[in-house]
Amino acid sequence: MTRLMIVLGSVREGRVGLPIAEWVRKTAQADGRFDVDFVDLAELNLPLMDEPNHPRLRKYTKAHTTAWSERVAAADGFIFLFPEYNHSYSPGIKNALDYLNSEWHRKPVGFVNWGGNSAGTRAQAALKPVVAALGLVITMGNIEINFPQKQLSEASEFEPNGQQREVLKLQLDEILALSEALKPLR
Protein backbone atom coordinates (compact mmCIF):
# COMPACT_ATOMS: atom_id res chain seq x y z
CA MET A 1 0.00 0.00 0.00
CA THR A 2 1.19 3.50 -0.80
CA ARG A 3 1.46 5.59 2.34
CA LEU A 4 -0.39 8.83 1.64
CA MET A 5 -0.16 11.74 4.06
CA ILE A 6 -2.98 14.26 3.84
CA VAL A 7 -2.07 17.60 5.42
CA LEU A 8 -4.72 20.18 6.29
CA GLY A 9 -3.09 23.62 6.29
CA SER A 10 -5.82 25.87 7.67
CA VAL A 11 -5.96 25.95 11.44
CA ARG A 12 -8.41 28.72 12.39
CA GLU A 13 -11.69 28.22 14.21
CA GLY A 14 -14.59 27.60 11.82
CA ARG A 15 -12.31 26.78 8.87
CA VAL A 16 -13.96 25.44 5.74
CA GLY A 17 -10.76 23.47 5.21
CA LEU A 18 -11.86 20.78 7.66
CA PRO A 19 -14.93 19.56 5.73
CA ILE A 20 -12.95 19.70 2.46
CA ALA A 21 -10.18 17.65 4.06
CA GLU A 22 -12.73 15.14 5.39
CA TRP A 23 -13.96 14.59 1.82
CA VAL A 24 -10.38 14.04 0.58
CA ARG A 25 -9.56 11.72 3.50
CA LYS A 26 -12.69 9.59 3.04
CA THR A 27 -12.12 9.37 -0.74
CA ALA A 28 -8.50 8.27 -0.29
CA GLN A 29 -9.45 5.71 2.35
CA ALA A 30 -12.31 4.30 0.24
CA ASP A 31 -9.98 4.06 -2.79
CA GLY A 32 -8.30 1.01 -1.26
CA ARG A 33 -4.79 1.68 -2.62
CA PHE A 34 -3.57 3.95 0.18
CA ASP A 35 -2.56 3.70 3.78
CA VAL A 36 -3.75 7.17 4.85
CA ASP A 37 -2.14 9.32 7.52
CA PHE A 38 -4.32 12.39 8.18
CA VAL A 39 -2.51 15.41 9.62
CA ASP A 40 -4.53 18.35 10.89
CA LEU A 41 -1.95 21.07 11.54
CA ALA A 42 -4.26 22.54 14.20
CA GLU A 43 -3.89 19.29 16.16
CA LEU A 44 -0.20 18.82 15.36
CA ASN A 45 0.34 22.30 16.80
CA LEU A 46 3.93 22.81 15.68
CA PRO A 47 5.45 26.03 17.05
CA LEU A 48 6.92 28.47 14.55
CA MET A 49 10.03 26.72 13.24
CA ASP A 50 12.38 26.77 16.23
CA GLU A 51 15.29 24.45 15.36
CA PRO A 52 18.83 25.88 15.66
CA ASN A 53 20.28 23.84 12.77
CA HIS A 54 19.43 23.77 9.08
CA PRO A 55 16.99 20.89 8.55
CA ARG A 56 19.16 19.30 5.86
CA LEU A 57 21.60 18.35 8.67
CA ARG A 58 18.81 16.40 10.41
CA LYS A 59 20.25 17.39 13.79
CA TYR A 60 16.93 17.98 15.43
CA THR A 61 16.80 19.15 19.01
CA LYS A 62 13.07 19.21 19.74
CA ALA A 63 10.74 16.26 20.33
CA HIS A 64 8.06 17.80 18.10
CA THR A 65 10.54 17.98 15.20
CA THR A 66 11.72 14.38 15.61
CA ALA A 67 8.11 13.15 15.70
CA TRP A 68 7.22 15.22 12.60
CA SER A 69 10.37 14.01 10.80
CA GLU A 70 9.56 10.33 11.44
CA ARG A 71 5.98 10.78 10.31
CA VAL A 72 6.90 12.56 7.06
CA ALA A 73 9.79 10.18 6.33
CA ALA A 74 7.31 7.28 6.49
CA ALA A 75 5.09 8.80 3.76
CA ASP A 76 5.33 7.92 0.04
CA GLY A 77 3.30 10.89 -1.16
CA PHE A 78 1.21 13.83 0.00
CA ILE A 79 -1.90 15.88 -0.54
CA PHE A 80 -1.62 19.41 0.85
CA LEU A 81 -4.87 21.28 1.46
CA PHE A 82 -4.59 25.00 2.12
CA PRO A 83 -6.59 28.19 1.55
CA GLU A 84 -5.59 31.46 -0.04
CA TYR A 85 -4.76 34.18 2.51
CA ASN A 86 -3.74 37.58 1.10
CA HIS A 87 -2.88 36.22 -2.33
CA SER A 88 -0.65 33.48 -0.94
CA TYR A 89 -0.58 30.21 1.03
CA SER A 90 -1.64 29.83 4.65
CA PRO A 91 1.28 30.15 7.09
CA GLY A 92 0.82 26.75 8.75
CA ILE A 93 1.64 24.80 5.61
CA LYS A 94 4.88 26.73 5.01
CA ASN A 95 5.92 26.28 8.64
CA ALA A 96 5.32 22.52 8.52
CA LEU A 97 7.39 22.30 5.32
CA ASP A 98 10.27 24.42 6.66
CA TYR A 99 10.88 22.11 9.63
CA LEU A 100 12.24 19.30 7.43
CA ASN A 101 14.28 18.77 4.29
CA SER A 102 15.30 15.34 2.95
CA GLU A 103 12.12 13.77 4.38
CA TRP A 104 10.24 15.48 1.50
CA HIS A 105 12.71 14.64 -1.28
CA ARG A 106 11.50 12.96 -4.46
CA LYS A 107 7.98 12.33 -3.31
CA PRO A 108 4.81 13.41 -5.12
CA VAL A 109 2.46 16.07 -3.83
CA GLY A 110 -1.01 17.07 -4.96
CA PHE A 111 -2.66 20.36 -4.00
CA VAL A 112 -6.24 21.08 -2.98
CA ASN A 113 -6.88 24.83 -2.73
CA TRP A 114 -9.77 27.15 -2.11
CA GLY A 115 -10.55 30.83 -1.82
CA GLY A 116 -12.84 33.51 -3.23
CA ASN A 117 -12.87 34.38 -6.94
CA SER A 118 -9.31 33.14 -7.32
CA ALA A 119 -10.31 29.67 -6.01
CA GLY A 120 -6.95 29.48 -4.23
CA THR A 121 -4.97 29.56 -7.48
CA ARG A 122 -2.61 32.29 -6.21
CA ALA A 123 -1.97 30.27 -3.04
CA GLN A 124 -1.23 27.25 -5.20
CA ALA A 125 1.14 29.17 -7.47
CA ALA A 126 2.94 30.64 -4.45
CA LEU A 127 3.62 27.25 -2.87
CA LYS A 128 4.92 25.63 -6.07
CA PRO A 129 8.47 27.07 -5.83
CA VAL A 130 8.57 26.17 -2.14
CA VAL A 131 7.79 22.49 -2.68
CA ALA A 132 10.14 22.41 -5.70
CA ALA A 133 12.96 23.67 -3.45
CA LEU A 134 12.32 20.68 -1.19
CA GLY A 135 12.44 18.16 -4.04
CA LEU A 136 8.72 17.40 -3.98
CA VAL A 137 7.18 16.61 -7.37
CA ILE A 138 3.81 18.25 -8.07
CA THR A 139 0.95 16.39 -9.71
CA MET A 140 -0.56 17.79 -12.92
CA GLY A 141 -4.14 17.64 -11.73
CA ASN A 142 -4.86 19.88 -8.75
CA ILE A 143 -8.12 21.03 -7.23
CA GLU A 144 -9.19 24.67 -6.98
CA ILE A 145 -12.48 25.54 -5.30
CA ASN A 146 -14.07 28.98 -5.33
CA PHE A 147 -16.34 29.93 -2.43
CA PRO A 148 -16.42 26.38 -0.98
CA GLN A 149 -18.88 27.50 1.71
CA LYS A 150 -21.53 27.28 -1.04
CA GLN A 151 -20.89 23.55 -1.24
CA LEU A 152 -21.48 22.80 2.44
CA SER A 153 -24.54 20.76 3.39
CA GLU A 154 -26.75 21.63 6.37
CA ALA A 155 -24.60 19.23 8.39
CA SER A 156 -21.54 21.24 7.25
CA GLU A 157 -20.20 18.44 5.07
CA PHE A 158 -18.45 19.38 1.84
CA GLU A 159 -20.44 18.24 -1.20
CA PRO A 160 -18.04 17.96 -4.17
CA ASN A 161 -19.30 18.42 -7.72
CA GLY A 162 -18.58 15.93 -10.50
CA GLN A 163 -15.52 17.77 -11.76
CA GLN A 164 -13.96 17.96 -8.28
CA ARG A 165 -14.58 14.23 -7.77
CA GLU A 166 -12.99 13.46 -11.13
CA VAL A 167 -9.91 15.61 -10.51
CA LEU A 168 -9.36 14.05 -7.08
CA LYS A 169 -9.47 10.59 -8.64
CA LEU A 170 -6.92 11.65 -11.28
CA GLN A 171 -4.76 13.20 -8.57
CA LEU A 172 -4.76 9.96 -6.56
CA ASP A 173 -3.85 7.98 -9.71
CA GLU A 174 -0.97 10.33 -10.38
CA ILE A 175 0.33 10.27 -6.81
CA LEU A 176 0.44 6.50 -7.06
CA ALA A 177 2.23 6.52 -10.43
CA LEU A 178 4.75 9.20 -9.40
CA SER A 179 5.39 7.52 -6.08
CA GLU A 180 6.40 4.29 -7.85
CA ALA A 181 8.46 6.13 -10.48
CA LEU A 182 10.35 8.20 -7.91
CA LYS A 183 11.11 5.37 -5.46
CA PRO A 184 14.43 4.34 -7.07
CA LEU A 185 15.62 7.98 -6.86
CA ARG A 186 15.12 8.33 -3.12
Secondary structure of the chain in HEC code, one letter for each residue: CEEEEEEECCCCCCCCHHHHHHHHHHHHHHHCCEEEEEEEHHHHCCCCCCCCCCHHHCCCCCHHHHHHHHHHHCCCEEEEEEEEECCEECHHHHHHHHCCCHHHCCCEEEEEEEECCCCCHHHHHHHHHHHHHCCCEECCCCEEEECHHHHECCCCCECCCHHHHHHHHHHHHHHHHHHHHHHHHC
| Residue 94 interacting with ligand FMN (CB under 6 A) | no
| Residue 83 interacting with ligand FMN (CB under 6 A) | yes
Binding mask 98-127 for ligand FMN (x = CB under 6 A): -----------------xx-x---------
Binding ligand FMN (rule: CB under 6 A), the pick from 16, 28, 167, 168 is 16
| Residue 17 interacting with ligand FMN (CB under 6 A) | yes
| Residue 15 interacting with ligand FMN (CB under 6 A) | yes
| Residue 87 interacting with ligand FMN (CB under 6 A) | yes
- Give least dist CB 63 to ligand FMN, A: 28
| Residue 77 interacting with ligand FMN (CB under 6 A) | no
Q: Which residues bind ligand FMN (CB under 6 A)?
A: 10, 12, 15-17, 83-87, 115-116, 118
